[in-house]
Amino acid sequence: MTGLRGRSRRSILALSGVIGFLAVTAAWGADPAGSFRIPPPARTVLKNGLVVLAVERHDVPLVQLRLMVRAGSSFDPAGKGGTAALCARLLKRGTKTRSAAQFAEEVEFVGGTIDVEPGRDAVVLEAEFASRDAEIGFNLLADIVSNPIFAAAEFDNEKSLVLGELRGRLDDPSRAADQAFDTWLYGAHPYGGPPEGVAESVGGITRTDVQAFYEAYYAPGNAALVVVGDIGASQVAQRADRYLSPWKKRGVSLPKLPAPAAVTGTRVLLLDKPDATQSQIRIGGMAVRRADPDLIPLEVGSTILGGGFTSWLIDELRVKRGLTYSASSRVRAWKDAGNVRLSTFSKNETVAETVKVSLDLTRKLRAGSLEEADIERAKSYIAGLFPLRLESPEALAQALLDQELYGTGADFINLYQKRVRSVGIESLKRGLRWLPGDDMAIVIVGPAALFKGPLAGLGPVTVRPLTAARSAP
């Protein structure tokens, strides 16, 4: 049963949602040029190599702790995709000092939360506690990252849960299209597989594989902790030293990922779902890694194409033609590669038209056929939205971790709006060249028989059952 502390925390969260952004902007404000800025985090490096960053924010009595370990799915053993994710899930399932039940009870008793989010480049352990319980949060977080036991019974149970979840995810056509797109674009590259793996690969993972993965990558020198909230920077340093210094120091050798194989020409994948009345559409290609200087110009170009209600895709596909309710263009960038992706859906009978119009707009923009008003509108949209994206402690903590993980520089957050506003026509052209051109991947989830003929002119068309959504080209 959740106690008074749990109910109190929910009230705090509700209050935080109301006043968070106003408090942050009042406390941190903007520089003379009008750019949103945060104070420099207090930085400490423990003797075992763990980087600790602290940002004080006393508007709400909560503390957000985020611990990032460079132990993502891109380092999964060959043929055993999902090892990193399964390892991460098992961290909460028992330690040398606490059973899984004891751990859950301690978190629940104070109304805190601890979760684990596996990704391609890293795993993030997310914890939030009332400021009065911050020390409990440090203690529990340190325990699960440094003392997991991977009990056999817990491993078997968690693996079964993962397999069940993987089977159920094909029920969502939009999610299936997203996951199939990554595989269709990146092929056998580590970025091509979903972080949680596929049923075939997860089925072959053993408890020994998980233990070996932990020993290979979970080390303090391969990690960073960010703490944001109602706690002094000196307290953060002291508690991190007390609870995380015992985490044993050891060397880590991160494998160097190969470059993804280039996509040549247009390749189309149709995932057959005969009973669908509307179809999911994904169009995109290779793009830049997170630290590439072309990232921000590409984000501006992508926003012109499909960011916000005034974008080209929305104007043409939804407003003028009524082909869809939603269409977007998004840049996804990781440590070693990235992609730009158009996402939409349409009635089956208008899928071919929707694809054609989307490609025509993309090629027009890629050729530089746009007006200054388009550029200014996109830059204003991105720069204006940026502070809202950092209004919560967890969002700010993650942004600071991303600076550490992707090597974008300690001033990336504070310079972001300035860099967006400084995008000119020449830098924009460099970014636009990453939009899908002649070399791209297209994935459609729907009744394949309706589309194979109309889309054949784009390039080779492959038809597969929906159950093969994660099969490489």
Task: Categorise residue 361: left if φ over 0, alpha if ψ from -120 to 50, beta otherwise.
Answer: alpha
The answer to whether the CB of 53 falls within 8 A of the CB of 227 is yes
Residue 54, class by beta-carbon neighbours within 10 Å (0-12 exposed, 13-18 middle, 19+ buried)? buried
Cβ atoms < 10 Å from Cβ of 353? 15
CA distance 282 to 441: 8
Nearest to 240 by CA among 131, 137, 144: 137
Q: Where would I find the H helices in 222-307? A: 233-244, 295-306
CA distance 466 to 473: 14
User: What pLDDT does 471 receive?
Assistant: 73
| 3 state SS of 58 | coil
Pairing of strands 113-118, 123-130: antiparallel
Q: What is the pLDDT along the chain (473 residues), one digit of tens a residue?
A: 344 444 444 444 434 443 444 444 444 555 655 678 899 999 999 999 999 999 999 999 999 999 999 999 999 999 999 999 999 999 999 999 999 999 999 999 999 999 999 999 999 999 999 999 999 999 999 999 999 999 999 999 999 999 999 887 778 899 999 999 999 999 999 999 899 999 999 999 999 999 999 999 999 999 999 999 999 999 999 999 999 999 999 999 999 999 999 999 999 999 999 999 999 999 999 999 999 999 999 999 999 999 988 999 999 999 999 999 999 999 999 999 999 999 999 999 999 999 999 999 999 999 999 999 999 999 999 999 999 999 899 999 999 999 999 999 999 999 999 999 999 999 999 999 999 999 999 999 999 999 999 999 999 999 999 887 777 67
Which domains occur in the chain, in start order? Answer: 4-244 (3.30.830.10), 266-468 (3.30.830.10)
Task: Categorise residue 169: left if φ over 0, alpha if ψ from -120 to 50, beta otherwise.
Answer: alpha
Paired strand residues for 239: none
User: What pLDDT does 33 receive?
Assistant: 57
Cβ atoms < 10 Å from Cβ of 201? 21
Cβ atoms < 10 Å from Cβ of 18? 10
Nearest to 290 by CA among 298, 302, 301: 298
Residue 307, class by beta-carbon neighbours within 10 Å (0-12 exposed, 13-18 middle, 19+ buried)? buried
Intra-chain end-to-end CA distance of the chain, in Å: 50
User: What pLDDT does 18 receive?
Assistant: 38
Cβ atoms < 10 Å from Cβ of 31? 11
Residue 253, class by beta-carbon neighbours within 10 Å (0-12 exposed, 13-18 middle, 19+ buried)? exposed
CA distance 57 to 28: 10
CA distance 271 to 279: 10
The answer to whether the CB of 296 falls within 8 A of the CB of 423 is yes
CA distance 398 to 65: 10
User: What pLDDT does 17 receive?
Assistant: 43
User: What pLDDT does 35 receive?
Assistant: 75
- Give the global pTM: 0.91
User: What pLDDT does 167 receive?
Assistant: 82
Tokens of 428: 């924009």
